[in-house]
Amino acid sequence: MSSIPAHTLNDGTTIPAIGLGTWPMDDVRAEEAVSGALGLGYRLVDTAANYHNETGVGRGIARSGVPREEVVVTTKLPGRHHGYAETLASFEESRQRLGLEYVDLYLIHWPLPRLDKYVDSWKAMIKLREDGLARSIGVSNFTPRHIARLEDETGVLPAVNQIELHPLFPQEERRAFHADKGILTESWSPLGRGRLPLHEPAVVAIAEELGVTPAQVVLRWHIQLGVVPIPKSAAPERQRENLDVFGFRLDPAQVAAISGQVRRRLGGDPETHEEF
């Protein structure tokens, strides 16, 4: 497999161009999956307090034998801990479960605008970054309106916004906003829930033409859009397949064909979804 390129974030840190998602693995499966994935060459691992597998992820990192400084570890603040003091306490709980001295990327999992506490949480995350406990800070499922408010009230933009993004929901406007602001886009459920996009005729035809799998086509599409996909897999053969997407390219017509599916959101709406 080709080496994994990296993106430089707006705070000067770097992040691999593809990562491993761990939802909805439990601790046992997460330990096995993370250890195995790091052995295959993954260097970005994504978890969250609400995945209830941070302990397993931390054990998998330790078990892998890969030097800590080579692994980018992401975790996320749950909605029940929004607020300044609550965020600091929640981060420490996550850090202890992971067994790490620092976290590479800490995200607000959902904005929960009804609670109206995400700015307070963001201020706490800025402190965590200043203290060196979180190398980079960002958000997940935030809209441009939410991000504009963070910038207006703190002067600090997220390094990353992790959002639902797949061929059925390519998020052109959101990606353009991020690019204008210097925010990296990450994709959760990059293959779609139930792997729905993999059965689209355009995806299947391109996979046959290139001699790769539909999943590899979709992940390559993400890479060429300049976003970071974090596909979840516990199976070593699937992990290997998902990582092996840097030895071929899609042409512009293929990228456009994959992007041209009927639009369909598969997850929650950030304006109304509540996650605690």
For the chain, how long is the longest CA-to-CA vector?
54
Q: What angle do CA 116, 136, 22 make, to 5 degrees?
A: 85
Q: Give the chain's radius of gyration (CA, Å).
A: 18
Exposure string over 46-56, b if 16+ CB within 10 A, otherwise e: bbbbbbbbbbb
CB distance 220 to 276 below 8 Å: no
Secondary structure in 3-state letters for 122-185: HHHHHHHHHCCCEEEEEEECCCHHHHHHHHHHHCCCCCEEEEECECCECCHHHHHHHHHHCCEE
Catalytic status, residue 102: no
Q: What one-character-per-residue DSSP string does 48-106 give?
A: -GGGT-HHHHHHHHHHH---GGG-EEEEEE-GGG-SHHHHHHHHHHHHHHHT-S-EEEE
Half-sphere exposure of residue 160: CA atoms within 13 angstroms, side-chain side: 33
Among residues 42, 51, 106, 118, the one annotated as catalytic is 51
Other C-beta atoms closer than 10 Å to the C-beta of 208 total: 12
Q: Mind telling me the catalytic residues?
A: 51
